[in-house]
Structures are given as structure tokens and as C-alpha cells.
Amino acid sequence: MRADSLATAFERRRVRLRALALRLLGSTAEADDAVQETWLRLDRAATTAIGDLDGWLTTVLTRICLDALRTRTRRAETTDTVAAGVVASGRGVDPEDEALLADAVGRALVVVLDTLGPEERVAFVLHDLFAVPFADLAPMVGRTPATAKKLASRARARVHAPARLGAVELTAHRRAVAAFLRAAREGDLAGLLAILAPDVVRTADPAALAPGMAALVRGAAEVAEGALALRQRSRDAVELLVDGLPGLVVAVEGRPLFAVTFTVRAGLISAYDVVAAPDRLAELTLALPPRQP
């Protein structure tokens, strides 16, 4: 295949490859790097030996992303340090990248995928989101088709872990959390006061707090003012099930920085806890909320 024809063939597939890389990595920058590396490998390959270009590109890109995920896992301590710095500074994702990530992937799903092991994530994304047969994806993760199927099944069970509440109570709890997030994002003090119980208590790990903020705050007025002070961070929040209950997770490019767990009574938030310590975050179970009827 001529060089110009090869480049044209790759460009026709770039959108799909980038969508796959985004789902696998959750980061626009890392996804772009993975796609570029895939092109470089194609450019160096003996193209006459490539019978199925789509399959070849998917395999190469997946292996590049899998290596990146494994490296990310090995660097978990470094990632925690970086995450803490992002929390302290309040820096979020570039708005253009954030919009692109939201359109292409769904931020809530990306956050949950970040809790999976590298092989589980790859198996789930390829099979459940891109309909790649287990026989084809198994070599990409170095497993048998049967083992690849188990990896995807395990990942699916975690992504869609059930809620701990019945349908009616779950709906009321989700409405309270959504109202809290909406008011925090809009800087709506009245909206926050309307959803907080008068004696609400907010607790938080030190890593989630801005300088001068107390780890424990009581009363709707003080809690609401504190939530408004974190308005910028609320832009990076997604609604998820946290340990089976509706909650929020603040994440940058899919990587959780801290989670918020809520206690809701009679439709009002009576308490919430901001979890930012790495050991506590690692113990949380994150899952997608069930679809609204």
C-alpha cells in the first residue's frame, strides 16, 4: 500500500480508534498519544502482511493502552501525589477536553472504569462497548477466550453493582444528591439551604479541604457556605453509586480525587462525608446508577 493511501486509510479509522482509546484510558491526552503511536507502528509495519487492517489497528492500539494502564497501576503512589496536588489547587480539566470526553465516553462510566484492573477494563470495553468477540480480544490481554469472558463478566458486575435501596427510596435519595450538586454548581445558596437539613453535619478528609476549612461543620448555613466555596470543584463531579448509595465523585479525566457520601432523611441531606484519603478511596465501591424509569 502506498504511503498516501495508508495515511488515508488510517485517517478514516481515526475517530473510532480515538473513541476506543478514550474508553480504555479515560484521558484525552493519553488517548491521542496512543492513537499517534498506533499510526507510527503502522507506518513502520510491513503492510503487505496485514490482511485485516481494522483488526490489526484495534489489536495494536489495545496493547498500547493496556501497557499504559499497567504502568499507571504500578505508579499508583505517584498518581496519588499528583491527585492531591490537583485537589489542593482546584485545577480541573481543560473545558474543551472535558466537553470532548463527556461527548465521546460519558464521564460517569470513565470514573467507574478507572476502578477496574487493566485486563478487566480492556475486556469490558472491547466486548461490551465495541462488540469484539472474546476469541479476538483474548490474545490482546494474553488470556484464553474463557478467561477473557470471565474478566468481562467480573468487570460488568462491578460497573453495574446493585444499589442498597429500594426503587422509591433510591429515587428520593438521588433527587436530593442531584439537587445538592445542581445548587453547588450554580452557586445557589437558597437551593442548598432548601435541600440541607437544619442540623446537617459535613465531615471531610483534610486532603479535600481548602486552606482554613474545618474538617467538621454543623448547621445548614455553614455547610452551605462551605459547599459554595468549592463551586469550581463541583464542575468535575459525577453522580455515582458509592458503596451502593447515591453519591458524588470528583474526578479529573476519569481519575477519582475524592468522593462524597450522603445520608438522606425525609428528602433532606442530614449528613455528608468527603472522602479523599487514598486508603479510604480505595475501599469504596463505585458503580453506575441504574437507569431512571
CATH 3.10.450.50 boundaries in the chain: 167-287
Residue 242, strand partner residues: 245, 286
Q: CA-CA distance, 200 to 267, in Å (whole number)?
A: 13
Write down the pLDDT at residue 255: 84
**CATH 1.20.140.160 domain extents, the chain:** 1-76+95-160
Provide block-wise average pLDDT over 10 residues at a time, the chain (293 residues): 77 93 91 95 79 91 96 61 36 46 68 93 95 94 96 96 93 96 94 97 89 90 89 86 95 86 96 94 92 67
Question: Where is 263: in which H helix or E strand?
Answer: strand 255-265
d(CA 104, CA 100): 6
CATH T-level topology, domain 167-287: Nuclear Transport Factor 2; Chain: A, (3.10.450)
pLDDT, residue 1, reads 54
The pTM score is 0.82
> For position 251, what pLDDT does the model report?
87
Which residues have a Cβ under 8 Å from the Cβ of 158 and sit 6 or more positions away?
Answer: 112, 115, 116, 120, 285, 287
Give the H or E element holding residue 240.
strand 237-242
Q: Which three cell numbers stand for residue 4?
A: 498516501
**pLDDT score, position 142:** 92
> How high is the pLDDT of residue 4?
67
At the fourth CATH level, which superfamily is domain 1-76+95-160? PhyR, sigma-like (SL) domain (1.20.140.160)
Predicted local distance difference test score (pLDDT) of residue 3: 59
